[in-house]
Amino acid sequence: MEIQNNAVKELFEPGSTFKTMSMMVGMDEGKIVMDEPVYCHKGAYNGFSARQVMYDHNYRRGGYDTLTTTEILMYSSNIGIAKLIHRGYKDNPQAFVDAVKRTGIDSHFTMQLIGTAAPVINRDGYWDATRLPWMSTGYNLQLPVINTLAFYNAIANDGKMVEPRLIREVRRGDEVVEEIPVRVVNDKICKESTLKDVQYMLEKVVSEGLAKQAGSKYFKSAGKTGTAQVGYGGNGRTTHMVSFCGYFPADNPQYSCIVSIRTSPEMHGDASGGGMAGPVFREISEKVMATRLYRDVELAIDSALYTAPK
């Protein structure tokens, strides 16, 4: 039996789903230009620290050469996003954190529940050579899963972030005892032009990038994959939290959804947000959209009323 809601009580490093936030903040503040090229060093880069190498997920297969900003999200390049954010904020890394917090993603969403967790984003104010680059890729910070979903929901919701809620009202019989109104956290998480660019990027992640398995042939979806290492049982053992967060249909958003899966340490093969969480997102989205299909009963034809032709 489940004794806690992991979506609101546990804190996780979000991993690559946070790259969308990094890209959005950088573009909104003029630090990143849409579709500028970034050299990704064939998947291994030690330019932030000689002692700590940053890898892309495919570095053993030769990595990436040069990617545009859109392709950095499509193929989830750690090096690409880290270089962009480091270039823009290395002289004042706290400005990056302040910009992230202005979106409202660090809000403590209680959702009428007891024991919910509050996000942790660089609370100690400490910076070293690797903290900012790794933070841009979704490490060195912790969020409840529901906060990541609230952020992507805001992207789908024309930039307006609202606090998630489980109930609209409490009733006693026919009497409304308490109403739970929609609480707006931020009317506009970014500029309109930035929002349109980010929405375009997230559609490309699904249509052409690593999240193809999250897409449906019946409607458009948009979102971002995520894969983060998680400590397991001490002794340096790790497992992964793989995820996909997005919304659908992308051209007229109605629903947002996040799928997060914690892999087993005994799992064989590569952990993949697109390959593991993506198909679950697709199944959920298709079943949800199927409930919206209605047919006019007047279009039904009773074959018994018609004789077969000669």
DSSP annotation string for 35-73 = T-EEE-GGGEE-SS-TT--EE-TTGGGT--SEEEHHHHH
268 vs 5 pLDDT, higher one:
5
Based on its alpha-carbon atoms, the radius of gyration of the chain, rounded to whole angstroms, reads: 22
Reduced to 3 states, what is the DSSP secondary structure of residue 229?
strand
pLDDT number for residue 307? 64
Task: Give 1's pLDDT tier (boundaries 50, 70, 90).
Answer: very low
Which of 64-68, 106-110, 183-187, 234-238 bottoms out in mean pLDDT, i.e. has the lowest?
A: 234-238
Task: Give 239's pLDDT tier (boundaries 50, 70, 90).
Answer: confident
219 vs 262 pLDDT, higher one:
219
What is the 3 state secondary structure string of the chain?
A: CCCCCHHHHCCECCHHHHHHHHHHHHHHCCCCCCCCEEECHHHEECCCCCCCCEECCCHHHCCCCEEEHHHHHHCCCHHHHHHHHHHHHCCCHHHHHHHHHHCCCCCCCCCCCCCCCCCEECCCCCCCCCHHHHHHCCCCEEECHHHHHHHHHHHHCCCCEECCCCCCEEEECCEEEEECCCCEEECCCCCHHHHHHHHHHHHHHHHCCCCHHHCCCCCCCEEEEEEEEEECCCCCCEEEEEEEEEEECCCCCCEEEEEEEECCCCCCCCCCHHHHHHHHHHHHHHHHHHCCCCCCHHHCCCHHHCCCCC
In the predicted structure, residue 305 carries a pLDDT above the cut 70: no
In the predicted structure, residue 207 carries a pLDDT above the cut 60: yes
pLDDT number for residue 204? 98
- The span from the CA of 227 to the CA of 125, in Å, is 26
pLDDT number for residue 152? 98
pLDDT number for residue 228? 79
In the predicted structure, residue 234 carries a pLDDT above the cut 70: no
Which of 165-179, 184-198, 199-213, 225-239 bottoms out in mean pLDDT, i.e. has the lowest?
A: 225-239
Q: What is the mean pLDDT of residues 188-197?
A: 98
256 vs 268 pLDDT, higher one:
256
In the predicted structure, residue 22 carries a pLDDT above the cut 90: yes
How many Cβ atoms from other residues are within 10 Å of residue 292's Cβ? 9
pLDDT number for residue 283? 96
Query: pLDDT above 70 covers what percent of the chain?
Result: 90
